Structure 1
Amino acid sequence: MMSCFSCCDSEEKLHQRSLKKSIQEYKRTTSISSFANLSSKTDGSKRRYIAEEIAKLGKGNISAEIFTYKELSAATQNFNPESLIGEGGFGRVYKGYLESKKIEVAVKQLDRNGFQGNKEFLVEVLVLSLLHHPNLVNLVGYCAEGNQRVLVYEYMLNGSLEDHLLNISPETKPLDWNTRMKIAEGAARGLEYLHETANPPVIYRDFKASNILLDANFNPRLSDFGLAKLGPVGENTHVSTRVMGTYGYCAPEYASTGQLTTKSDVYSFGVVFLEIITGRRVIDNSRPSEEQNLITWAEPLFKDKKKFHLMADPLLEGNYPEKELYQALAVAAMCLQEEATTRPFISDVVTALEYLSAGKTEDKQQQDDDDYDDE
């Protein structure tokens, strides 16, 4: 896992140096930060603003390729229901093949009803055209023809984390411990890039297992940036916004006040990390009433180390290093702190997971044992 990232380091550093310049240059032409102020506009002016910004996308400001609706219809066999690979609040996703590029793609056709779909389209194109990282999905291009709003991404062979963790079909092999830690680390790195490299910072706002896509080698990429918000800048401590996202994953302070910070994403990460460890959904109404809410069920168990083994996914069949389980649960518990200020920064989470996914816990334990034997 570590070597996978190290080979991208030099390229990533080059990109980081040019990132700020790119965003500043883009601000002069189409103002990326202006979408942060959409909430202050009236419905009428929101619609006009979004329509104007979408019109600007095709005028050389965005690096993503522009496709015709005809091309994307051909790629998906006229959006054939048999090609459907996902469905969300904003539209449907189809598997397709772009003849012009000779590649498989995922094609998201946004719901044409209302400006929310247009807003999601605009935000997603802006974010994914300006921000690039090994743990963010690649935007191949888009179509804004007439009233059609279609996004085209690289196709991810292994679907979503949800498919391999929470919606396991009988023929799907459960994820082993090391793969789970590798996915968690990569997803955290994606958030770290959004929070600490992007300028201004980007708050993802919809971190959940279905939005973490997996390539052929189970490397994760964050997807679905339609709810992303620019984070606070200067002396501001938060941004205020209408509460959006998925029930169970939202941080308590955001759900109750609409005040959003990067620590809101850290809470959501904690929820997903606990799902990764336990194999349980955050909200599962098929379980006994006291176990339906994952966080409520886990809270008393976090306090008793002797019960930690009860939190490991039974599908792991005990195949995990006990010490790593303890440390993983400690990371999850820190991210799930009720008070936002007591949660770690995502960079601290990455450091802890880097340690876990590289298997250093076992190495250190072996070293400790060797040192003891030498005494």
Structure 2
Amino acid sequence: MEHELPQDRNATRCIDTLVKSDKLRLLVQQSYLGLFVSLAVSILLCWVLWDYTDTTILLNWLGIMFLSTLTRLYLYLVHFRNQSDAQATLQHARPYVAALIASTLIWGIGALFIMPQGSLLGQVFTMFILIGMAGGVLATYSAHRSTAIAGMLSILLPSTLWLYSQPDKLHLGMAIGATIFIVITLRGAKILSDAMHRNFHLGYELQQAYEEADTLSKTDALTGISNRRSFFECGAQIISYCERNGLPLSTIVMDVDHFKCINDTHGHHFGDITLRQIGRILEAEFRKSDVIGRLGGEEFAILLPHTTLEEAQELAEKLRHTIAATPIIVQEKQMSITVSIGVASGAYDLGTLLPRADAAMYQAKTEGRNRTVIAGQFKEAPTAA
């Protein structure tokens, strides 16, 4: 039986949060126009029923509807100003959703009071308006199924139950028709909402997969730091920045001493652990603004913006001592490792800096390994380690 990894569960929860946020954001955006449509339709309904229903009741209901519209508009503006991230969207959307449901309740319950008791034509027109509003709610609130269903039921259910309580067939027929409409729209709301949810979810899954693939293409799988390609891409940006601003720039090239012997004596697994530990040390020792990369094999490079040659030498020496003082331990086997380091500066070009630092690193190996050599402080760069 396969078990979901903790990181997979966290990624799923993150996507679920983003999907909920997007659905709520879409709900708010889609319902903005509905603010004014709802108010306009309520004015139309009052105008039509003016001669059939107590005008005081109509005016009171219209006043409540107007206050509801102002409240929704205010909450919409609050939400619009506070949607910086998914959690903020979820937090500020809840009051707005509550206001949406309250508005539909004003329609549904209010219809019982403004429904003209002595005019069948007025009742039919009122139900016609209510069904239209319920359909509009379904279409407008479809991004959030629970809100769409609650809104539709709030509008239609009170009047539908009232129709069932009437003794004649015409009212019963209207009630049955409204019930059929409710059942069909409930099913439609589920299908539409599920499809929208899948599309949102798929979109974020594809985005996450793309980001993971992009990260993998730039990351060394063994050490977790930048690979050669990413080092050169990021390095070019850092160099351009330093050159534009006249900042000092240095580079360090480092190679593990006797790495072939480590692999041959202790096995490639031990060698892999060695490289991973060096990767962790590099990430701990250098700044976020520094570019760290594995150039290949046991060779690493660090590009140091805003760093003079003297400062780079101090950092290189500190790094060398840290690595030497951190033994590799595998299954009760313990071994200290050393590195040879070359440091270079004085150019805004990786094509110049890296060969200089590389030559200095080879000079360090020639001089006995486990040391740091500054480019330009030896007569001739050796051609072999």
Q: TM-score range by the shorter chain?
A: under 0.3
More helix by share: 2
Structure with the bigger RCO (C-alpha within 8 Å, sep 6+) is 1
What TM-score do the two structures reach when normalised by structure 1? 0.22
Which structure would you say has the larger Rg? 2
